[in-house]
Structure 1
């Protein structure tokens, strides 16, 4: 098992390989989501950065002032608004719930930090002094229909006797925090992490005894097996080895016991990475080592998702429903994480104000392409693969991060966290999507299946 001890330490910059060129640039110059200037700062151009490694808390991301946005979308930019939603079978043929806008709704919040005592300080913005509650007064409105509100009682009835696992990094565990609070109003869960792992920080298990429902989170920031590989020791910018054809054993050895599995990853792929396949080094991203092929981070990202999906497809005992939760953006403005950068906005962006592009768009499209391939193979095996396309909605929520109103998990300190999301907050939408997608077919496709491991 790959155990990380002090995961609140952040990292670093990374470089991108440019084909047919020996030039390299900082990651900040190659990976950005353009967002409009704050209304109080005139024509200043701001960049929203995402996809830097998340080490359980807040991560150094690099701010970069970009050139003006073109009015005409490129063919790659068109994919996010057309091909993605149309190329994947819809659960609800009447409506694509993932395309829409945020509308004001004063009573949108499901719970508070007082009514849900399960929120960790890292995400507990109101407890730690956030002065406004405006970020709680918005609701997602799909373009073509209305998205039903989350119903914890109905969710637990659908999930009765079953189990759900989050596989990925701390942003995935952030979603688990939201789901725990959404369900705790119906039944308060018991934490049983100690029964399953010595590392109860990175591997979480909860049990809802009345509904015999198990909820778990498996720490696997790369999805595949990873190890420290820098000869100079671990640091903010040290090399890690990824074994791209080997799933991380901590989740792969347990996953057949779960009925619902949510796969996600992204932030960690911006550190220097050594890629291994079939026991051999095949290349490296940003390692600056001689005699090793320079590969892009997107190569490693693609292969990691491919391996994770293939593992689920190959396990004969696995009969569950698999979800891909898409890329989650960050929103640093006016500096980097350690030079005064923050995410202090108090309102969502209007639809179209912020656009996914560059490296962030490439990450998004890469994971969706691998999802599509797995979905096609899943049909042959009788397995269901569903998309939780949260990216468009979350690009519009620069107001939803802890910023400086969160506390690192292992230290009594705060940093600007524009990567994770406040709980409660816009991340609750992810679980509205989850229930909407799993509900229509879950009783039929999973009838009679229960979690098979002992509790």
Structure 2
């Protein structure tokens, strides 16, 4: 879905405010130990390398994958996209160990909160863990609001709370209102031992694909507003909720960074292409189009928070994976999907980085 927006001047100025040392962990907090010792490395700066040990599981062996992510089942002919691993420049990611993950989080609740990209990552993590304990008793529940996979032998529940904006959408007499300063759904998040938040994808939707009729900012109700401004305001409401309601000694909080789309080939210097037919990642460690504005807004909000929120800064490494989308191999869905990701695939790397944050 294409749309136009302008970046409001106050936000543009705010993005370049010098960050304080106190807030640095919220922006780039996940670091590994450098190879050979001495100092740390940025886990999100690196390149994609061919790895014959991948993928980490087979889609046919995982009972949790939705059709729209099951690219192999729905006819994707190439397989090379499955054979890449993320290599940070100066350190190695720990290999994911699902049994270790379950033992570390025995008796705990892990909750993803967000849109269909959270669904993508949630199903990935469930598959990665299941691959390690295929005979473990599991309880699988799917509903429109809350879904879960519970590994009953360990008492670990990996949950998904569906909230595309994090802030509320409420049906009122005038229609559906997106309330930028309200989070009623947060009551369901309080009991989780780990929270992984995500939002952005739906903020760009307009026309018939937009699920709300009006947007409310304080007491002001509008038909529309600048989408980055709305995103900033909604995300700031979420940040205040976390600062007010979360005890970091009891709950570890992550934010899944902005997941990119690949509908416009000109972003990687190929103007006539989308993700369809792409067979491999971009080489190198930078993306020609640069960092998206939404990612800058996210980092600005995180840097202002009082409580620790660890950013899974997956944007650039995901931008390089123009080959990782379902494209035309997305179940019964029509068209080309360059927003979501095949499973197995890129979200497995997101979860490897999540695992690294827990063990390094």
Which residue matches 2:269? Answer: none
Deviations 1:156-191 (A, max 9, x none): 111111111111100111001100110002334634
In the superposition, relative to structure 1, how do residues 405 and 312 fare at CA in structure 2: closer, same or farther (>3 Å)?
same
- The question of 1:388 aligning with 2:302 is answered no
Which residue matches 2:36? Answer: none
In the superposition, relative to structure 1, how do residues 149 and 102 fare at CA in structure 2: closer, same or farther (>3 Å)?
same
Which residue matches 1:181? Answer: 127
d(CA) in 2 for partners of 1:229 and 1:356?
A: 40
Which residue matches 1:330? Answer: 261
- Equivalent position to 1:306, from 225, 228, 236: 236
d(CA) in 2 for partners of 1:349 and 1:341?
A: 14
In the superposition, relative to structure 1, how do residues 300 and 19 fare at CA in structure 2: closer, same or farther (>3 Å)?
closer
Paired residues for 1:173-252 under 5 Å: 173-187=119-133, 188=136, 190-193=138-141, 200-227=143-170, 241-247=177-183, 249-250=184-185, 252=186
For this pair of structures, how many residues does the alignment match? 330
In the superposition, relative to structure 1, how do residues 144 and 136 fare at CA in structure 2: closer, same or farther (>3 Å)?
same
Secondary structure of 2:309 counterpart: strand
- Structure 1 residue 115: Cα displacement: 2.0
Deviations 1:287-336 (A, max 9, x none): xxxxxxxx42111111222211221221267831110110001112579x
Superposition TM-score, scaled by structure 1 size? 0.66
Contact 1:346 1:399 in 2 (8 A): yes
- The question of 1:369 aligning with 2:315 is answered no
Contact 2:54 2:82 in 1 (8 A): yes
- Structure 1 residue 343: Cα displacement: 2.4
In the superposition, relative to structure 1, how do residues 260 and 189 fare at CA in structure 2: closer, same or farther (>3 Å)?
farther
Which residue matches 2:12? Answer: none
Tell which deviates more after alignment, 134-143 or 345-354.
345-354
Which residue matches 1:139? Answer: 85
- Structure 1 residue 257: Cα displacement: 0.7
d(CA) in 2 for partners of 1:430 and 1:229?
A: 38
Contact 1:329 1:419 in 2 (8 A): yes
Secondary structure of 2:346 counterpart: coil
- Structure 1 residue 86: Cα displacement: 10
Which residue matches 1:15? Answer: 4
- Equivalent position to 1:277, from 210, 213, 217: 217
Deviations 1:176-234 (A, max 9, x none): 1100110002334634536xxxxx14421121111111111111111100146897x8x
Secondary structure of 2:294 counterpart: helix
In the superposition, relative to structure 1, how do residues 253 and 86 fare at CA in structure 2: closer, same or farther (>3 Å)?
closer
Q: Which runs of 5+ in 1 are unaligned?
A: 1-11, 21-74, 195-199, 234-239, 286-294, 379-383, 441-455
d(CA) in 2 for partners of 1:175 and 1:167?
A: 11
In the superposition, relative to structure 1, how do residues 88 and 18 fare at CA in structure 2: closer, same or farther (>3 Å)?
closer
Which residue matches 1:355? Answer: 288
- The question of 1:297 aligning with 2:217 is answered no
In the superposition, relative to structure 1, how do residues 271 and 125 fare at CA in structure 2: closer, same or farther (>3 Å)?
closer
d(CA) in 1 for partners of 2:121 and 2:333?
A: 23
In the superposition, relative to structure 1, how do residues 15 and 91 fare at CA in structure 2: closer, same or farther (>3 Å)?
closer
In the superposition, relative to structure 1, how do residues 371 and 18 fare at CA in structure 2: closer, same or farther (>3 Å)?
closer
- Equivalent position to 2:73, from 124, 127, 141: 127
Which residue matches 1:292? Answer: none
In the superposition, relative to structure 1, how do residues 332 and 190 fare at CA in structure 2: closer, same or farther (>3 Å)?
same
- The question of 1:117 aligning with 2:63 is answered yes
d(CA) in 2 for partners of 1:149 and 1:304?
A: 36
In the superposition, relative to structure 1, how do residues 400 and 118 fare at CA in structure 2: closer, same or farther (>3 Å)?
same
Q: RMSD over aligned Cα, in angstroms? A: 3.0
Which residue matches 1:345? Answer: 278
In the superposition, relative to structure 1, how do residues 230 and 342 fare at CA in structure 2: closer, same or farther (>3 Å)?
farther
Q: Which runs of 5+ in 2 are unaligned?
A: 10-14, 33-38, 207-211, 267-271
d(CA) in 2 for partners of 1:298 and 1:87?
A: 19
